[in-house]
Amino acid sequence: MPVIDLGSAAREVARLLDGVTEDRLDDPTPCADTPVAALLDHFMGLSLAFTWAARKITPPEGGPGPGAASAEHLDPRWRALLPRRLDELVEAWRDPMAWEGMTEAGGVRMPAEQMGIVALDELVLHGWDLARATGQPFTCNPADTAAVLAFTSASAAPEQAAGREGLFGPVVEVPEDAPAFDRALGFAGRDPAWTPKPA
């Protein structure tokens, strides 16, 4: 059966989209050199890539993936397309077969059980990025928080330094008694207190 359900995390991302006004597309996000429009383009690519990964579909040559997003590439129909892609992503990972065997996303091959957690991690962390960039609240349920904390804390281990390259920035020190979600953010190279700098 599915290891974890992506529905809550995907719904939170979809909810945030209504609060992304056109004048926010050039605003900075907690991801360095990634304005809001580029982050949305990343969501467009990752939702497809991880849906294909769940279904064990080989991505088309030159097709979208979870990396290399750009503001210039953002599909102008993103408001209509992205919620549908998020729904498809959730449904794909609700198939118990999605969690079995090996699969691939963005040129990385790994056990499907791990890939599903990576998909959750992408939704949650970038959902928080989008919420912070656009001045909106963000919520993550306890089960998702625990899964993301386990993933990001493992990636912060010294022996994982090579695999962490390009995935997360340097670990941000967060007090050990901080909320679990704040600790997950810190392990993922994010400052829980990040806010956009005044113009």
The CATH superfamily label for domain 7-187 reads dinb family like domain (1.20.120.450)
| CB atoms near residue 169 (< 10 Å) | 14
On whether the CB atoms of residues 174 and 194 are closer than 8 A, the answer is no
Q: Which residue has the higher pLDDT, 198 or 15?
A: 15
Domain ranges of the chain: 7-187
Rounded CA Rg of the chain: 16
Predicted local distance difference test score (pLDDT) of residue 141: 97
Residue 102's DSSP bridge partners are 111
pLDDT mean over 21-28? 95
On whether the CB atoms of residues 81 and 131 are closer than 8 A, the answer is no
Predicted TM-score (pTM) of the model is: 0.93
Q: Which residue has the higher pLDDT, 69 or 131?
A: 131
Q: Is the pLDDT of residue 107 over 90?
A: no
| Residues 118-161: tens digit of each pLDDT | 999 999 999 999 999 999 999 999 999 999 999 999 988 887 77
On whether the CB atoms of residues 56 and 26 are closer than 8 A, the answer is no
Residue 108's DSSP bridge partners are 105
Burial of 55 (0-12, 13-18, 19+ CB in 10 A): middle
What is the share, in percent, of the chain residues with pLDDT greater than 70?
92
pLDDT mean over 162-175? 81
